[in-house]
Chain A
Amino acid sequence: MSGAASPGAPRSGIRFDGVTVAYHGNVVLDSLDLTVEPGEVMALLGPSGSGKTTALRAVAGFVQPVRGRVFIGDRDVTRLPPHQRGIGMVVQQYALFPHMRVEDNVAFGLKAQKVPKGQIPGRVTEALAMTGMDSYAKRYPRELSGGQQQRVAIARALAIRPGVLLLDEPLSALDAQLRSGMLSELARLHRELPDVSILYVTHDQVEALTLADRIAVMDQSRLRDCGTPQDLYRRPRTEFTASFVGNANLLPVRVGSGSVLFGGTELAVATDEAVWGATATLCVRPHLVGLGPGPNALRGKVAEVQWRGSTHRLYVDVAGHRVKADVRELRATPALGDEVTLHFAREDAVLLAAGVGGE
């Protein structure tokens, strides 16, 4: 496989060094420090307005930071115009040039970078083949489906063999089925191009968990958390991460030794770093909460039952808090108002010191 990054091309990562972006005095990205290692897939995960797209656009050169620097490899690109940055970019709406055939779209970057004429057709075919679009070279973008257009857009970005690939919600415009197909496609592309660093902006935790080597969680213009998907999912460090990644139950508790107190019930959890007597937040994933008696039992009233095919989602009011539980499809579903018992294992709960990740 002669991938996008040619053998001699420098392996370049991305580094944000205190990058702040503001529009008309309105801060949309607040002193971001983040390093994407060469060859790493970093997902910027967050709700809309969290600053994640702004961070990507700062790398592309479409927004100018008011403070801080952006590095691609060892190069400080903060003041460079976009066309000198050597990046590949794919956006949600594909942005294929509608007046050019697929092959001309892909050749555009090669011509712009003055690749010798003789090499262009070969590189166009190679890039299109990578995304399985080589038989559509003569089509116009309007003759392709959304998924096909996105493949061409990816081929176009890879044809110039960038060291850094920026993906801005690349799958958001596709329907669910196509999305999971493209997701594995992107994973395959990255296996084939191990030297390309990828910055992947998304609001979809499944995409981030599936693709990323590390995830940077963003909220309200700030970086809240950063770590491997497993790390963030199993041991979230902030309440925001816990609820945004995996939609966890967050229960206010008072810390004892080896246990916490939740609404009068004593629950056995690891309390290593927590201060005795302090208030803290207990984080339990809904799918790790079981129905029926067991250790760490919680009694409450059923407030809502949702059938989700293979699972049932129960909302149970326990001591004034609504606890979510995803359980295997039930033969007999509890009625609203029924008193039920929930439980979870000691090792499935994570204790977050109160206020962490808040302000």
Chain B
Amino acid sequence: MLVHSRGGRWATWTVFFALFLPVFALPLLVIVAASFATNWSGAFPSGFTTGHYGAATTGDSLQALTTSLVTALTASVLALTVGAWAALAAAALKKGGRRFMDALFVLPVAVPSVVVGLAVLVAFSKPPVLLNGTRWIVILAHTVLVMAFAYQSVSAAILRLDPMYEQAAASLGARPLLVLWRVKLPLLLPSLTAAAGLCFALSMGELSATMMLYPPDWTPLPVQIFAITDRGSLFTGAAVAVVLMATTLLVLLGVSRIRTKASFR
């Protein structure tokens, strides 16, 4: 701890909460409060109800939740597979090649996601690869968007991995593929799961690229929230938002449990 005196510690915590609460916590609390309200005209909401959650967990909203979960899981797995593969390949390259790969994989983050969405739309609206109007165009866009994060976190973990493990395995007669499968990937597992969690959370909340691409039968939850609130049902929208938040948090919690088990030191 940097601050030693009791008073100083108090002051630090006070400043922290004064900044943290309004910026991070309050907006979330407002959403939660709104999801249980029928009316919000004064400073506080009124008319307690749980009815919005009925609407938020049935029908179109439930459909949208499943859509989001399937999209996020598929996109995360794809992004992690390709991203990790690329990161492993890049680590074996010389400096120039590695820089090129790093730059290539940072593109989806550097470019606004609307542009990525538009690019995917234009690229896959005509044969030979016609994906427009299918769920795959949404999944593809999400994969591209989150892959940058998968690549970067796995890349960083590979750099930190001590080459002595790999060398010990090789000296024992293990072929490169066996070294990768039995030594490198297990040692990278904590970073891989962290990357998976990040990809999943990002995909669950993706709106801007999705808006340009989603077909009528594949509406992810953020689009649903946008549509509901756009129609003026603010409180139902809040309830759906809470469902989105809770689901994402639950999955991240599960992932972090796997992570704790997978970390060895």
Are B264 and A140 in contact, CB atoms less than 8 angstroms apart? yes
The answer, yes or no, to whether A136 is at the interface (CB within 8 Å) is no
Q: How far is the CA of A84 from the CA of B169 in the complex (A)?
A: 12
Are B168 and A91 in contact, CB atoms less than 8 angstroms apart? yes
Are B264 and A112 in contact, CB atoms less than 8 angstroms apart? no
The answer, yes or no, to whether B109 is at the interface (CB within 8 Å) is no
A95 contacts across to B, CB distance below 8 A: 162, 164-165, 167-168
The answer, yes or no, to whether B187 is at the interface (CB within 8 Å) is yes
Are B186 and A108 in contact, CB atoms less than 8 angstroms apart? no
Are B171 and A82 in contact, CB atoms less than 8 angstroms apart? yes
Q: How large is the interface on B (under 10, 10 to 19, 20 to 34, 35 or more residues)?
A: 20 to 34
Q: How far is the CA of A95 from the CA of B164 in the complex (A)?
A: 6
Q: B179-192 CB contact bits vs A (8 Å, 1 = yes)?
A: 00011001101000
A99 contacts across to B, CB distance below 8 A: 186-187, 189, 264
- Given A98-B187, A112-B174; A91-B164 close (CB under 8 Å): yes
The answer, yes or no, to whether B249 is at the interface (CB within 8 Å) is no
Which B residues between 145 and 200 are near A, CB-CB below 8 angstroms?
162, 164-165, 167-176, 178, 182-183, 186-187, 189
Q: How far is the CA of A157 from the CA of B162 in the complex (A)?
A: 19
Across the interface, B182 reaches (CB within 8 A) one of A62, A96, A108, namely A108
The answer, yes or no, to whether B126 is at the interface (CB within 8 Å) is no
- Given A95-B164, A95-B165, A108-B182; A89-B171 close (CB under 8 Å): yes
- Given A98-B187, A99-B186, A112-B178; A62-B173 close (CB under 8 Å): no
Are B173 and A113 in contact, CB atoms less than 8 angstroms apart? yes
The answer, yes or no, to whether B6 is at the interface (CB within 8 Å) is no
Are B167 and A108 in contact, CB atoms less than 8 angstroms apart? no
- Given A97-B183, A98-B264, A99-B186; A89-B168 close (CB under 8 Å): yes
B169 contacts across to A, CB distance below 8 A: 97, 108, 112
A260 contacts across to B, CB distance below 8 A: none
B167 contacts across to A, CB distance below 8 A: 60, 62, 82, 89, 91, 95
With both chains docked as a complex, state the minimum distance between the C-beta of B256 and any C-beta of chain A, in angstroms: 18
- Given A98-B187, A142-B265; A112-B164 close (CB under 8 Å): no
Q: How far is the CA of A61 from the CA of B176 in the complex (A)?
A: 14
Are A160 and B265 in contact, CB atoms less than 8 angstroms apart? no
B264 contacts across to A, CB distance below 8 A: 98-99, 140, 142
A142 contacts across to B, CB distance below 8 A: 264-265
The answer, yes or no, to whether A205 is at the interface (CB within 8 Å) is no
Q: How far is the CA of A142 from the CA of B263 in the complex (A)?
A: 12
Are B172 and A112 in contact, CB atoms less than 8 angstroms apart? yes
Q: How far is the CA of A61 from the CA of B167 in the complex (A)?
A: 9
Q: A136-156 CB contact bits vs B (8 Å, 1 = yes)?
A: 000010100000000000001
Are B170 and A83 in contact, CB atoms less than 8 angstroms apart? yes
Q: How far is the CA of A109 from the CA of B182 in the complex (A)?
A: 11
Q: How far is the CA of A86 from the CA of B187 in the complex (A)?
A: 25
The answer, yes or no, to whether A236 is at the interface (CB within 8 Å) is no
With both chains docked as a complex, state the minimum distance between the C-beta of A316 and any C-beta of chain B, in angstroms: 46
Q: How far is the CA of A208 from the CA of B168 in the complex (A)?
A: 24
Q: A80-115 CB contact bits vs B (8 Å, 1 = yes)?
A: 011111111101010111110000000011001100
Across the interface, B174 reaches (CB within 8 A) one of A62, A98, A109, A140, namely A109
Q: How far is the CA of A156 from the CA of B169 in the complex (A)?
A: 10
Across the interface, A82 reaches (CB within 8 A) one of B170, B183, B187, B189, namely B170
B173 contacts across to A, CB distance below 8 A: 83-84, 86, 109, 112-113, 160
B176 contacts across to A, CB distance below 8 A: 83
Q: How far is the CA of A157 from the CA of B169 in the complex (A)?
A: 10
Are A108 and B172 in contact, CB atoms less than 8 angstroms apart? yes
B164 contacts across to A, CB distance below 8 A: 91, 93, 95
Q: B1-27 CB contact bits vs A (8 Å, 1 = yes)?
A: 000000000000000000000000000
Are B172 and A109 in contact, CB atoms less than 8 angstroms apart? yes
Q: How far is the CA of A87 from the CA of B172 in the complex (A)?
A: 7
A85 contacts across to B, CB distance below 8 A: 171
Q: How far is the CA of A26 from the CA of B234 in the complex (A)?
A: 69
Which A residues between 45 and 97 are near B, CB-CB below 8 angstroms?
60-62, 81-89, 91, 93, 95-97
Are A97 and B172 in contact, CB atoms less than 8 angstroms apart? no
With both chains docked as a complex, state the minimum distance between the C-beta of B68 and any C-beta of chain A, in angstroms: 33
Q: How far is the CA of A113 from the CA of B178 in the complex (A)?
A: 11
Are A83 and B174 in contact, CB atoms less than 8 angstroms apart? yes
- In chain B, what residue has the closest Cβ to A84? B173
B182 contacts across to A, CB distance below 8 A: 108
Q: A303-333 CB contact bits vs B (8 Å, 1 = yes)?
A: 0000000000000000000000000000000
Are A156 and B165 in contact, CB atoms less than 8 angstroms apart? no
Are B172 and A156 in contact, CB atoms less than 8 angstroms apart? yes
Q: How far is the CA of A276 from the CA of B264 in the complex (A)?
A: 68
Q: How far is the CA of A85 from the CA of B167 in the complex (A)?
A: 12
A62 contacts across to B, CB distance below 8 A: 167
B residues with a Cβ closer than 8 A to A are: 162, 164-165, 167-176, 178, 182-183, 186-187, 189, 264-265
11 contacting pairs across A/B (C-beta < 8 A): A82-B170, A83-B171, A85-B171, A95-B164, A95-B167, A97-B183, A99-B186, A108-B169, A142-B264, A160-B172, A166-B171
- Pick the 8 closest A-B CB pairs, nearest first: A109-B172, A112-B174, A82-B170, A98-B264, A95-B168, A89-B171, A95-B164, A112-B173
If A89-B171, A166-B171 are given as contacts, then 5 extra A-B residue pairs at C-beta distance below 8 Å, sorted by A number, are A93-B162, A93-B164, A97-B187, A108-B182, A109-B172
